[in-house]
Structure formats: C-alpha cells, structure tokens
Amino acid sequence: MKSTYIIGEIGQNHNGSVDIAKLIVDLVSRPVKEEVFGLDLCPMDAVKMTKRDLNEELTDSQMNRLYDSPHSFGRTYGEHRAFLDLTDEEHFEVYKHAKSLGLDFVETLCSRGCMSLLKLFTPDFLKVASRDLTNLPLLEIMAETKIPIILSTGMAGKKELDEALAVITRYHSEISILHCVSQYPTYPDNLNLKTITYLKKHYGQYRIGFSDHTIGISAPVVAVGMGAEIIEKHITIDRHMKGTDQLGSLGPEGVNRMIRDIRIAERWLGEEELYIDESVAGAKVKLERSIATRQELLPGHVITEDDIHLLSPGDGYKWVDKDRVVGKKVKATIKRNEIIYPKDIE
C-alpha cells in the first residue's frame, strides 16, 4: 500500500507567533483513529512554513499603501507583512519542534535573501511557490543547494513548468510537481483535477501531487484516487482567528477528517486486478445462487432444464455447471425449491 505524503501548510496562520506555529505543529502530529474498524492511521508527514525577505517582496508603493482590513496587523501592507514575518531563528525553533515530533519540515523560500535561513538548518524539502515558478534566478540558487524541491504550478502552463525544470535539472532531479490553482478559495469549475493525470503522463519521472485551495476535504481525497502522491493543505488551530488564510484552512477537526479519509482511500485503492477477496467468501456462499428444483423431484427422475432454476445459497452447482445436473438421475427425493447437491444425483 502506497502512502501519500501529506504536508500541513502553516503559511501565515501563525499570526507572527512562534507559540501558535508550534501549536499547529502539534496539531499535525496527532495520531488519527478510524473508529468503525479500529484502525490506527498515520498522521501528516510534514509541516511547511514560508520565509520572506521584505526587501525583495513588493514595490515600495505597494508596501507603503494603507492596508485597511479586519485582518490587518499593521497600518500599511508593509507593516502588516513585517508583523507576520518570523526571523530565521524563529523558523529554526519551529523546525526543531517539528523534528522532535517526528515530522519532516518543508520551507518555502521567496527570495535570495531568505537563503540565510539555510545556515541554521536544512529543510527536508524546499518549496517554490506558484508565484515564483518563473523566478528563474531564485530557482537556480535553490537548486544549487541540492535539497529536494517541490514546485507548485498554480499560475503556470507547460511552458513555464518546462522552463523551471530546465533550470533545476542542471543541478539535480529530486523534484516534485504539485497541481495547484492560485484562486483562494478555488471555484469548483476551475480546479481541473485531471491535470494530475496529465502531469503523471507527461512528467512521470517526478513525484506528482496536489496543493489544495478548495473548501473542505473532498478534493484531496479525490486527488489521491487519481494518483497524487503528495497532498498539501493549509491548516490552523482556529479557523475564526484573525488572518486572511484562516477561514480557508482546515481546523483541528478538518485536519483529522482529511487525514482519516486520505489514509482510508489509500487502502481502498488496492491492486489493479480483478479477484475474489477472502473477506467476501461468506457472503458469496450466502448470497450467490445455485441450481435448485422448480418442483419436487422423485427418485429415478431424469432432470431436464425445465426442472431447475437458481436460488440462494450459493454452495451448489452454478448455472455454468448445468450440464453436470441436466440429464442426471435423482437418487433420493428432492423437495421443491431446494438446492441440488452432488450427493442427490447420479
């Protein structure tokens, strides 16, 4: 059974607080239980954070514009972003906490200036946000580290993806590609999950996954059924906290349900084969049909096709075996609507 690599994206849902970030990490690491069958299921595999260098983020006019919003943490957009940004050392603190709980750590680096973070620790993966897939200089310096890279394609077509891959593969090929739509939340008609099968067909040398911005948990489960090997989803400890991403994220109950459903879906998929599973053996005998009598048959009677039909249970002759019944003599009386067994005929 293949296990899906599930990433919980913290993003900016820590609201500028290391303590909140650690609480979200705790949420990700919780064990998951399926109650009906009593299954202990694997929790998420990783958490992801995002590092920005505000000197390389937006134009001065955009950073200085007034940011009048219920979700604002500053008077201007620059002040808002500065409040939400954690230092390299704070990222390292969250990294150590995740590692202590057995989780992988994924880091989105948004500019060259963010590379300083790598002096403190080495993430398990580097993530390229959809907005930076065409930022080829950034891709090059990230690829030079030889750390495995995950690419999001939320604003990309084939041309942009191929150009990004051409840069990264000069250094290594440990690349994962996530189908993504950079619409928050994503309108149902725009999701186009069949892009996953397109990516698997045309970029099968890489690991293919899905970064989800829909409401709810259905899309990630469907994506797993379509072959996604990685799922990324925004998570938070409280969807009603201040912040633009909170409401579109999964809270504790949603995280639990998504992981449960993905891990169960992995078991559903099974093997590409048609076979009779051992678990249905009892139902097969109970419910399938066998050749039975239409009327009482007396000893010496030669059975014709008009004498028989099919009834449950399924522990007798099947219709495909009727030549082993028709033309045979009855040994002892067989009552009407009873199964004909080998002991009854000769």
Identify whether residues 245 and 299 lie together within a single domain.
no
pTM for the model stands at 0.87
* Beta strands at 308-311 and 46-51: parallel, antiparallel or unpaired: unpaired
Identify whether residues 257 and 297 lie together within a single domain.
no
Query: What is the rounded distance in angstroms from the CA atom of residue 121 to the CA atom of residue 107?
Result: 11
Identify whether residues 228 and 105 lie together within a single domain.
yes
Identify whether residues 189 and 302 lie together within a single domain.
no
Q: Which helix (H) or strand (E) holds 5?
A: strand 5-9
DSSP string, 205-274: TSEEEEEE-SSSSHHHHHHHHTT-SEEEEEB-S-TTSSSTTTTTSB-HHHHHHHHHHHHHHHHHH--SS-
Q: Which position has the token pair 């002096």?
A: 119
- Choose the final residue of a domain: 269, 294, 318: 269
pLDDT at 341: 96
26: CB partners within 8 A, 6+ apart? 101
Identify whether residues 125 and 154 lie together within a single domain.
yes
Residue 121's domain is classified under what CATH number? 3.20.20.70
Identify whether residues 262 and 288 lie together within a single domain.
no
Buried-exposed string 242-260: b where 16+ CB fall within 10 A, e elsewhere: ebebbebbbbbebbbebbb
Please state, for a pLDDT cut of 70, what percent of the chain lies above it: 100
Query: What is the rounded distance in angstroms from the CA atom of residue 122 to the CA atom of residue 140?
Result: 17
pLDDT at 54: 75
- Choose the final residue of a domain: 269, 303, 322: 269
- The distance of Cα 329 from the centroid of its chain, to the nearest Å, equals 60
Identify whether residues 210 and 291 lie together within a single domain.
no
- Choose the final residue of a domain: 244, 269, 294: 269
Q: Which position has the token pair 């593969």?
A: 169
Query: What is the rounded distance in angstroms from the CA atom of residue 114 to the CA atom of residue 142?
Result: 10
- Report yes or no: 75 and 67 within 8 Å, Cβ to Cβ: yes
Identify whether residues 238 and 336 lie together within a single domain.
no
* CA dihedral for 69, 74, 75, 80, sign (positive or negative): negative
pLDDT at 48: 97
pLDDT at 70: 85
Identify whether residues 140 and 55 lie together within a single domain.
yes
Identify whether residues 258 and 315 lie together within a single domain.
no
pLDDT at 55: 76
Burial classification of residue 219, based on how many CB atoms lie within 10 Å of its CB (0-12 exposed, 13-18 middle, 19 or more buried): buried
Residue 317's domain is classified under what CATH number? 3.90.1210.10
Query: What is the rounded distance in angstroms from the CA atom of residue 243 to the CA atom of residue 142?
Result: 29
Phi and psi at residue 242, to the nearest 5°: -60, 140
Query: What is the rounded distance in angstroms from the CA atom of residue 223 to the CA atom of residue 262?
Result: 9
Mark the ranges of the chain whose per-residue pLDDT is less than 70. none
Query: What is the rounded distance in angstroms from the CA atom of residue 321 to the CA atom of residue 61?
Result: 83
Per the structure, how many domains does the chain have? 2
Identify whether residues 247 and 167 lie together within a single domain.
yes
Phi and psi at residue 235, to the nearest 5°: -135, 155
In terms of residue numbers, what domain contains 60? 5-269
Identify whether residues 141 and 60 lie together within a single domain.
yes
